[in-house]
Amino acid sequence: MRDRVRKLGLVVALVGLVAGVGHAQQGGGGRPAQPPEVAFVLVPAQIDADGRSVIGSVGFRDDDGDIALARFEVVRAGAFDPFAFDPLVQGVVKGSFEFFAFSKIPQQVTLSVTLVDKTGNESAPFEFSFAAVTQAPEPGGAPVFLYQWGRGLPSPNALNNPQGVVSDGAGNLYVADTGNHRVLSFDAQGKLRFIRGGLGEGDGEFSAPRALAVDSANRLYVVDTGNHRIQKFDADGTLLTRWGVRGVGVGQFNLPTAITLGLNDQVYVVDTDNSRIQVFDAQGNYLFQWGGFGAEPSRFQFPEGIETGPDGNLYVADTGNDSVKVFDPQGNFLRSWGGPGSEAGLFDQPRDIAIDASGLVYVAEKGARRVQIFDLHGEFISLLSTFGPDFTQVQNPTSVALDPEGLVYVAGGDGALMQFTPEGRLLNTLASPAAEFADTLETPLGLAANAAGHVYVVDGPNHQVLKYSANGHMVDK
């Protein structure tokens, strides 16, 4: 969600209001005043530009429990006024509160929130972004839908803005339930296996978990973004280990957002706000790192995606530098391609990467709103999809994934899920933003495919997970 790279000049009509009572521990008093801290901001990556309000939340920590003001300021936008309010969290040392936002026209918004306590101490400003979009017209033909779970389920099973999904070798599914600060596991038919987590900093607790990975022994790695750490579980949800705290030192993180596994289950973590990649063994022991903020070949500007190629090399979506950079498993720079622009082979905020067994590299761009195909050396092959209103086009692709047969699935910010051949020929529009369809997607934020060729889609704002077959046939529950 955080968009630190330059973007559009905008004309905007957006208002923020408060709802909100903090929750969690009570405390404060008797100690020298300490500045509050913003732990996370959750807001849909996209909202409808129709004036309807959406709810966001701000996570905080304040040892004195005396936050008196939440101040929202404009970083990038047009006709937009800053706003502030009392979040009504007096006496709460750790928790969250809500705010409302809406937009009447399509545009991109970046705001910062600063928390101020009674004595005037201020937190560091925390930036976040979202896009207001006009939904695409209904695609032709009915979507092919298997079944869904999450939305409408009674508590405690209901999902809240899930943003990550992965499947293991046994067909089990793991969902990062970001808004509820937990991880859920389902079997292949959508039956709940277990729930782990809840908001907190203790063992097995989370703060806005965003990305997941599974190793060769079906052990689960969770990017605990708001707590700036990685937690590792076995296939039944038992915590095995955890590592990381907020910071810039070795083994520390500042908003990690993506993860991939390499040879011997080495763990590669995209440490986004430190603009680096850190590498650990399967037990969480620090091995090495590379990167740092900059435009040089081995440096990054707020990278957001990473994938391991069939050659064992690491392919990184260097979002702020508008490039894809390739490194060997030891972090040595090999090559890069791209550069800012909208022409073929150039990028505008590359966000996600998928690589098939034959070496085709699919790159989803959130700025140019398209998916490009390259070979492993960065030679442009073709466009898989481009921005546009018709049923062969995707608005703002958020994720790209591959199934075992090599078919490509693109999730778009308009709520569409499309299936392509590796060469870029559209096979199916599996889901659409049309309201009358049971499998309506609002902002699909994650994709995963299992060995059986089923595709799982995390639809964040609709709080659901949906399952599709590669050939469009229903599977038994």
Instruction: Tally Cβ neighbours within 10 Å of residue 402.
Output: 19
Buried b (16+ CB within 10 A) or exposed e, 79-112: ebeebebebebbebbbbbbbbebbbebbbbbbbb
What pLDDT, on the 0 to 100 scale, is given for residue 266? 96
What SS3 state is found at 13?
Answer: coil
Question: Running along the chain, 477 residues long, what does each successive block of 10 average in pLDDT?
Answer: 30 30 38 81 78 84 92 80 89 89 78 94 90 55 40 52 75 80 80 89 92 91 95 95 96 94 94 96 96 96 92 95 97 96 91 83 82 90 61 56 65 55 63 40 49 52 53 37
What pLDDT, on the 0 to 100 scale, is given for residue 159? 63
- Tell me how long the chain is: 477
What pLDDT, on the 0 to 100 scale, is given for residue 100? 83
Predicted confidence (pLDDT) per residue in 11-59, tens digit = 222 333 233 333 333 334 455 678 999 988 888 777 777 777 788 889 8
Nearest to 31 by CA among 70, 69, 65, 68: 65
> Per the structure block, which two tokens stand in for 110?
């970046």
Predicted confidence (pLDDT) per residue in 145-180, tens digit = 344 444 444 445 566 666 677 778 787 878 788 778
What pLDDT, on the 0 to 100 scale, is given for residue 122? 95
What pLDDT, on the 0 to 100 scale, is given for residue 230? 97
What pLDDT, on the 0 to 100 scale, is given for residue 47? 79
Q: pLDDT exceeding 90 applies to what percent of the chain?
A: 38
What pLDDT, on the 0 to 100 scale, is given for residue 448? 54
Nearest to 231 by CA among 183, 274, 184, 265: 183
What pLDDT, on the 0 to 100 scale, is given for residue 406? 66
What pLDDT, on the 0 to 100 scale, is given for residue 128? 85
What pLDDT, on the 0 to 100 scale, is given for residue 449? 53
Instruction: Tally Cβ neighbours within 10 Å of residue 431.
Output: 27
